[in-house]
Amino acid sequence: MKLKMGTRGSALALAQAGWVAQELKKRHDGLGIETVVIKTSGDRFSASPPREASLLAQTTKGLFVKEIEEALLDGSVDFAVHSSKDLPASLSAGLGIAAYPEREDPRDAFIGREGLSWSALSVGARIGTSSLRRKVQLLSIKPGLDIVPMRGNVDTRLRKLREGECDALVLAYAGLKRLGRSELKHELIPAEVVVPCPGQGALAVECRQDRRQVAELLDALECARTRLEVEFERSFLAAAGGGCSTPLGALAHAEAEGVALSVFWSDPEGRCPRRLLGRCPDPAERDAFTAELAARIKSGV
């Protein structure tokens, strides 16, 4: 049997898709997988002038999955591999996540120029990131930082750091690890300091809901704990109305007593950054729990 796998063409996306293909072939003898690279709206806006890209990013969610989902629906590909953090709160009708492989560490990583540590950051230090979520949280904890908009892939950002365009970068650690760059000197930022993006560190393997045979093959990669935690985070994303213009973070942790969910939310201007921790004893009550948590954090109660 041969399947077509859809993915973006970035180095990270190809590394993630390659890992998924390798793991599937380990579990299914004789399975062939063809990689189909799909250019998304997100890839196009990343290549746009900074101002145009910024305006588009703030009005659209799901830029990095739209065209891939269209290919799934029209049958151009059989399944797709995404970074879970790129998924909008709701998938396109007829599609579902067939598997969430075991998650990597979801925290952000701090990479400073030689001799600069996270604890030594001072007023005026230039931090490279284009994430509004990171920007608002960093400024709420260390006021006076200079946040430098920083787009491009990991290697591009590291080059800009070396060339002195910023003093430090904040990146998702999982991306560094999947690209084989985890040996770079870095510090992991505690999740209680900078709450990660919903789904950060997790992969999502998506297919059409009516492709049952495909879904059964993909299920070999499923990690039940990852699904439980990521779906709690995505439920909060949906309840809070999170988009690219909303600084929002969520990190779930499955416990014996249920699921703990740490969340962050602010208005787009960063004037009211808030953090909450809630615990849901019964995972079956997930959506009601996240709706209440979203209402509390947005109202400041």
For 97-147, how does the pLDDT look when each residue is reduced to its tens digit (9 = 90+)?
999 999 999 999 999 999 899 999 999 999 999 899 999 999 999 999 999
pLDDT, tens digit, 9 for 90 and up, residues 79-98: 999 999 999 999 999 999 99
Please indicate, yes or no, if residue 194 is contained in any of the structural domains.
no
- Indicate whether 145 belongs to any domain: yes
**Residue whose pair of structure tokens reads 């297919």 in the numeric block:** 207
SS3 content of the chain, % helix, strand, coil (to 5): 35, 25, 40
* 193 part of a folded domain: no
Residues 113 and 84 in one domain: no
Tokens encoding 108: 């952000």
Residues 6+ apart with CB under 8 A from 226: 100, 101, 102, 103, 202
Residue 227 sits in a domain whose CATH number is 3.30.160.40
Output the domain CATH number for residue 34: 3.40.190.10
How many CB atoms are located within 10 Å of the residue 185 CB?
9
The last residue of a domain, from among 136, 164, 188:
188
**Three-state DSSP class for residue 124:** coil
With 50 as the cut, is the pLDDT of residue 58 above it?
A: no
If asked whether residues 76 and 212 sit together in one domain, one would say: yes
- Name the residues annotated as catalytic: 86
**Total domains in the fold of the chain:** 3
Residues 34 and 97 in one domain: yes
291 φψ region: left (φ > 0), alpha (ψ -120 to 50), beta (else): alpha
pLDDT at 10 over 50: yes
- Domain with 176, as residue range(s), is 108-188
Instruction: Select from 188, 212, 239 the last residue of a domain.
Output: 188
DSSP, collapsed to helix, strand or coil, labels residue 33 as strand
Please check whether residues 236 and 259 belong to one and the same domain.
yes
Of 134, 166, 188, the last residue of a domain is 188
Q: Are 91 and 69 in contact (CB under 8 A)?
A: yes
